[in-house]
């Protein structure tokens, strides 16, 4: 691996760069919360060679949203389900927008 490859990971939202302790600290939560959302299958952290959980920025974003819902009184299982549905909706909207752009570029004279 070259130095350029290592620096490229700094911009990779999916690279598991954060330990459980650091992730909990960044989110202002406990390691137990991270374990709980893992058990609820909201996020699945990768494991280091030593078996320690490692979290990506994307996973921390998801965990932060779940934490917001739990802080508002939502049970953790329900919060995890809500976050999953929000993520699925966002992906579906992104795909729909791509299809609309492709259709418009294929037929630019058609009225909407």
Here the CATH number for the domain that contains residue 45 is 1.10.1660.10
* pTM of the shown model: 0.77
Q: CA triplet 66, 69, 82: central angle to 5 degrees? A: 65
pLDDT tens by residue, 26-51:
999 999 999 999 999 999 999 989 99
Reported as type and span, the H/E element at residue 27 is helix 20-27
Residue 61 maps to a domain: yes
What's the confidence (pLDDT) of residue 99?
96
pLDDT at 56 exceeding the cut of 70 = yes
Residue 67 maps to a domain: yes
Residue 20 maps to a domain: yes
In this structure, are strands 53-55 and 18-19 parallel, antiparallel, or unpaired?
antiparallel
Residue 45 maps to a domain: yes
Q: How many domains does the chain have?
A: 1
Residue 101 maps to a domain: yes
Residues 6+ apart with CB under 8 A from 40: 76, 77, 80
């Amino acid at each position: 691996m070259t130095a350029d490859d290592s620096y490229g990971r700094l911009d990779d939202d999916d690279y598991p760069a954060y330990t459980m302790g650091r992730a909990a600290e960044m989110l202002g939560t406990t390691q137990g919360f991270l374990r709980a959302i893992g058990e609820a299958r909201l996020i699945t952290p990768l494991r280091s060679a030593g078996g320690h959980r490692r979290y990506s920025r994307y996973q921390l974003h998801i965990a932060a949203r779940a934490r917001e819902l739990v802080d508002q009184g939502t049970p953790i299982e329900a919060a995890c389900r809500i976050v999953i549905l929000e993520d699925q909706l966002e992906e579906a909207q992104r795909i729909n927008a791509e299809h609309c752009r492709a259709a418009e570029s294929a037929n630019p004279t058609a009225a909407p």
